[in-house]
Chains A and B, each alone.
Chain A
Amino acid sequence: MGVNDFDPGLAAAAIGRALAHGGEFAEVYVEERDGLTLRLEDRRLEQTSGGRDFGAAVRLLDGERTFYAYSDEVDEAGLTAAADAVAAALRGAGGATAPVVELGAVQSRPGAHPVLVPPETVDVRRKADLLRAADEEARAASGEIAQVIAAYADARQRVLVVNSLGEVVRDDRTRTRVSVQCVARRGEVIQTGHETLGGSCGFELLGQAAVLGVAREAAGKALTMLDAKPAPVGLMPVVLANGFGGTLFHEACGHGLEADAVAKDASIYAGRMGEVVAAPIVDAFDDGAVRNGWGSAAFDDEGVPTRRTQVIEGGRLTGYLYDRLRARQADVPPTGNGRRQSFRHVPIPRMTTTYIAPGDATPGEIIAATPHGFYAKSLAGGQVEPASGNFVFGVAEGYLIEGGRVTTPLRGATLVGNGIDILVKIDLIASDYEVKSGICGKDGQGVPVGTGQATLRIAEMTVGGTG
């Protein structure tokens, strides 16, 4: 039994039952996910794990209220129980007549994110060998590589979204990813380096050369940081490298553009549409339709087609990221940003692939124009409070900039600041645009996201270190 065998008519019946006591919108989300993960550590492929989840959720919207019930029982009994559970929450609010939901034609966009080699057709041993090769490659970089952790994951997720508007949407998603973490040791000094490659595509993404490249990058980061000196403390110009630097925009700005934070006036961007929120050279986007992007899909998890949304144009705020609920409240069309980790989670506004558009400078020019500063080559991750805009990032790989040149590697650095303040201080953007893949957590839900950026400079930012 899977999503493809599931009769949308059962969903229509459940939607009718869910609306029996009122409510404005009801939806059934059916999800089937088959996944595989492999993990190599200590030169040993220690875990081969995989499984299958099949479940369904019924959602009922009434004004600003959401009622949600889900179950692993994807049959008439399970759906009826879930529909009755959400309807019961509104009992007493109206008469008990279940409306009849007429379903329209099935929408799907096969080929929006082509899968050339479906991972399930590839022998698990080949995937294991890929990790063994990555381990060898990373260790070959230096005798100082003390440990390598390599992980592989693929998943095929089939979803069916049916709602009271009569929409029936099917989406078939395949994601593939490999990540390598290296630990380098010299005497008492231990450093780590991490690199990853993932996409909404098949096994074709992970050619031998690409995976070995990931391993070398991870090893290189850990080895470089062995020579690192403690990072300084204080305000200074910060140059953010392309790729991972994009997590800064994701955290410092992107979360504040998600319409749930905006609707609750819990975002520094609330009520500021059209206002200056960044330097004039900043154009920024969220794009859930990037072909084969790790954060992409043909439709979001509410059945809305994904698309590109410009959020900042010439430094002015031009867009928020909406799911259906918040779009209805704001009386605007949804932007295809209603995402959920699984059928066990309520959809909420989420970023997909978020990026600052590239500029004209070269990375070399930006470094050369900086007499003294901090070069953040790779960020470890960060957090933000959308309400205040305050954020913090760990720097995985950082360097001192002296006399317009990148010099000493620095360890233990943190970047601290405030979203709008930092975007306003962006004064140079290069053309070396690159996207990195990650998992973003919010309200206890992890979803795949891409973060993109070219090398750019922030005129002044607080660097926190121990030196």
Chain B
Amino acid sequence: MFDMLDRALERAAAFDDAEVEVYGERSASRRVKVFGGEVEQLTAARRAGLGVRVVRAGAAGYAYTSELSPDGIDAVVRRAYDHAAVSDPDQFVALPDPGGGPADVDPYDSRVETVSDTARVDLALAVEAAARGADRRVKTVEDTIYADGEGEVFLASTTGVRGSYRASQCYAFAYVLAEEEGQVETGISYTVGRALPDLEPAACGAEAAARACRLLGARKCPSMKATVVLDPFVAAGVIGVLSSALTADAVQKGRSLFAGREGEQVAAPGLSLTDDGRHPDGLDSAPFDGEGTPSQRTPLIADGALQGFLYDTYTARKAGRSSTGNGLRGSYQGLPGVHPTNLLIEGDVAPVDDLVAAVERGVLVTDAVGVHSGANPVSGEFSVGISGILIENGRLTTPVREVTLAGDLLAMLRGIVAVGDDARWVPGGSILTPSLVIEGMAIGGT
């Protein structure tokens, strides 16, 4: 594909003096959905495209295309130039220089090439069967999905960046409905890896069923100030919201509650949060980011103190420092933006059972809805709907639902008094997190 990138760079050279970067992507993916022991849906996809970023007199323009003919490439270059002419200039806008060699991480597992459609279907069926067989109260396994994909990314620029890498990913997912006495509750689980043999279908199905069944009989609980234990799925949602406030982009634009607090104690002592773009097990690991900057490990919070933020080339230049390799792209259709890679939350761990036993009155939260609409990373306000299990005198008692959990994100971070020994990867952001115990949260019920 480098030949197409080179054609784009040559076309660009014919225009005038500007910095130009071309990003190319080529991938294939499959997705299997099963229902009731049968294949419900099988999808096979191929995609390829180019994105061109032009920086001209400090103004950036972007254009993309899926038409990779010479005419298509010429047109996309011209369009990127036209767009650069409209954007406002900014002295900090520039393409990065090649910054050292790529990070030593290989996000590709060649076993992905040997997987057959039959194996994909069988894996999804195994997840569904495990979910159905886990508990007689399982009403239906509404969604069971297996998906995998592999692709190659290419990057070349007039500032000397040139590189490519391959990556592969796969996951299985189950969404289970359990029913008892007319009440329906839901539960999910995932299993993720770089190729199908990494996955644990039986555990995934069984866990989704267990998560649904344990909520049966749930009702509202009284409103109270209490301690909550967020399980890793729920904790990952909260960390995801917090992380958007830890990007230099949010800080520089006055949209972060962490702005100006570097060095301050923003979380409980012992707690740390790290972005690690080269973690060997991280699904979002890559040798370099969407601008060609090598991936690295960036401490965000260490022992409760705010260490710093995530940067791409633009925000780094503005702050007078170097990029942390967090200029990520979703696809060739988009510009790089500052985003976390893999996030790791760590602290002094204790067995989850011991943590629950230490709670006099509270809720073990196993599901939260509205995390993205109900948590505001600008103001820090946080209010979501939750389901879970009531904790009374150190014991898990009645399931609860239709209650709210509200507070302030910073107070919440400072209120994390303990973390569990159950750290796991949660997809949808690639977050490695244990259960979190948080004091002083407002539960809204009856």
Contact = CB atoms under 8 A, between A and B. Distances in A.
Interface of A: 1, 38, 41-42, 44-55, 64-73, 82, 85-86, 89, 124-125, 128, 146-147, 183, 185, 189-192, 231, 233-235, 264-266, 268, 344, 346, 380-385, 387-388, 390-394, 411-414, 416-418, 462-466
B87 A383 contact: no
B407 interface: yes
B221 to A, nearest CB: 11
Contact of A392 (B35, B41, B253, B384): B384
Given A346-B41, A462-B402, A464-B404, A390 B385 contact: yes
A64 B405 CA distance: 40
Nearest to A60: B42
B403 A464 contact: yes
13 contacts: A44-B90, A49-B64, A50-B62, A72-B67, A146-B254, A183-B378, A190-B378, A388-B183, A392-B404, A412-B381, A462-B446, A464-B405, A465-B442
Nearest to A191: B379
B119 to A, nearest CB: 14
Given A52-B65, A54-B67, A89-B117, A416 B90 contact: no
Given A51-B63, A392-B374, A392-B384, A147 B254 contact: yes
A87 B154 CA distance: 32
A71 B90 CA distance: 38
Give the size range of B's interface with the partner: 35 or more
A183 B192 CA distance: 38
Contact of A42 (B48, B140, B253, B383): B253
A235 B333 CA distance: 46
A47 B374 contact: no
Given A71-B46, A465-B383, A47 B186 contact: no
The listed residue with most A CB atoms (<10 A of its CB), out of B41, B63, B405, B446, is B41
Interface in B49-104: 49, 51, 60-68, 75-76, 79, 82-84, 86-88, 90
Given A44-B90, A380-B374, A393-B374, 11 more contacts: A53-B65, A124-B82, A192-B378, A233-B223, A234-B444, A383-B385, A388-B401, A412-B383, A416-B385, A464-B383, A464-B442
A148 B252 CA distance: 13
Contact of B379 (A86, A190, A382): A190
B38 A390 contact: no
The 6 closest A-B pairs by CB, nearest first: A464-B404, A392-B385, A464-B444, A381-B373, A51-B64, A48-B83
B82 A68 contact: no
Contacts of A70: 43-46
Nearest to B411: A466
Interface in B355-414: 369-370, 372-374, 376, 378-385, 387, 401-408
Contacts of A264: 35, 140, 142
A402 B63 CA distance: 53
B184 interface: yes
B195 to A, nearest CB: 21
Contacts of A390: 369, 385, 387, 401-402
Contacts of A387: 142, 177, 184, 186
B347 to A, nearest CB: 25
A190 B377 CA distance: 10
A391 B369 CA distance: 8
The listed residue with most B CB atoms (<10 A of its CB), out of A44, A64, A412, is A412
B87 A394 contact: no
B44 A69 contact: yes
B41 A65 contact: yes
Contact of B83 (A49, A54, A411): A49
B270 interface: no
A55 to B, nearest CB: 6
A346 B45 CA distance: 11
A393 B370 contact: yes
A220 to B, nearest CB: 17
A414 B84 contact: no
Contacts of A68: 41-44
A46 B333 CA distance: 17
A418 B66 contact: no
B31 to A, nearest CB: 9
B63 A72 contact: no
Contacts of A66: 40-42
B35 A49 contact: no
B291 interface: no
A325 B303 CA distance: 55
Contact of B383 (A85, A147, A385, A414): A414
A94 B42 CA distance: 19
A168 B444 CA distance: 54
Contact of A49 (B38, B62, B220, B376): B62
B184 A64 contact: no
Contacts of A463: 444
Given A69-B44, A465-B383, A416 B404 contact: yes
B47 A383 contact: no
Contacts of B60: 46-48
Nearest to A36: B83
A72 B46 contact: yes
A269 to B, nearest CB: 12
Contacts of A344: 45, 47
B21 interface: no
Nearest to A124: B86
A466 B41 CA distance: 44
A175 B364 CA distance: 45
Contacts of A393: 370, 373-374
A52 B66 contact: yes
Interface in B317-355: 333-335
Contacts of A413: 383
B445 interface: yes
A290 B112 CA distance: 46
B255 interface: yes
The listed residue with most A CB atoms (<10 A of its CB), out of B43, B255, B382, B405, is B43
B39 interface: yes
Contacts of A266: 140, 142, 177
A403 to B, nearest CB: 24
A64 B177 contact: no
A176 B441 CA distance: 42
Interface in B223-256: 223, 252-255
B370 A72 contact: no
A72 B47 contact: yes
B185 interface: yes
A106 to B, nearest CB: 24
A54 B379 CA distance: 41
B402 A414 contact: no
Contact of A234 (B45, B142, B257, B446): B446
Contacts of B252: 42
Given A44-B90, A46-B87, A414 B254 contact: no
Contact of A416 (B335, B379, B403): B403
B253 A346 contact: no
B208 to A, nearest CB: 13
A85 B44 contact: yes
B383 A64 contact: no
Contacts of B403: 416, 462, 464
A219 B168 CA distance: 44
A195 B376 CA distance: 16
Contacts of B385: 383, 390-392, 414, 416, 464
A49 B401 contact: no
Interface string B142-175: 1000000000000000000000000000000000
A466 B443 CA distance: 8
Given A265-B140, A465-B406, A234 B223 contact: yes
Given A42-B253, A233-B442, A392 B370 contact: yes
B342 to A, nearest CB: 21
